């Protein structure tokens, strides 16, 4: 849950900073605001040196999208040990953009299935 009183721009900047400053070999390919389910969100496209697996340290490519919904920070992440082509990134982003949030609890009638 998002701490009470946290402003949305501040939340996004703090979240992005966690990635930008903490991952070994971090390389940022894109960091920008996008629209997700008719609301603002942040896209982060990056790569970094992943943990060692059987003595081999591999490069990890990731796409993450963050969106605040009330007191929740939604995070959508795709990770691969392969280099992503722009066409693949576009396809993955389209999957994320297909997200449709449920209405708030108080908008759901008790007799409606969830």
Q: Which CATH class is domain 8-99?
A: alpha beta
Mean predicted confidence (pLDDT) in 30-46: 96
Total-model pTM:
0.82
Give the start-to-end residue ranges of the domains of the chain: 8-99
- 56-69: strand order across its sheet: 27-36, 39-53, 56-69, 72-80
Per-residue pLDDT tens digits for 41-73:
999 999 999 877 666 678 999 999 999 999 999
**Average pLDDT of the chain to the nearest whole number:** 88
CA–CA distance, 59 with 41 (Å, rounded to integer): 26
Tokens, residue 68: 């605040």
Task: Tell me the HSE value of 83 on the side-chain side, using a 13 A CA sphere.
Answer: 3
């Amino acid at each position: 849950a998002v701490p009470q009183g946290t402003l949305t721009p501040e939340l996004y900047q703090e979240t992005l900073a966690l990635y930008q400053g903490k991952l070994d070999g971090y390389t940022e390919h894109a960091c920008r605001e996008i629209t997700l389910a008719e609301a603002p969100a942040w896209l982060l496209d990056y790569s970094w040196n992943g943990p060692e697996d059987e003595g081999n340290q591999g490069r990890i490519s990731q796409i993450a999208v963050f969106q605040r919904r009330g007191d929740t920070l939604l995070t959508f992440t795709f990770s691969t040990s392969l280099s992503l082509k722009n066409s693949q990134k576009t396809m993955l982003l389209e999957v994320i953009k297909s997200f449709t949030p449920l209405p708030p609890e108080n908008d759901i009638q008790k007799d409606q299935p969830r």
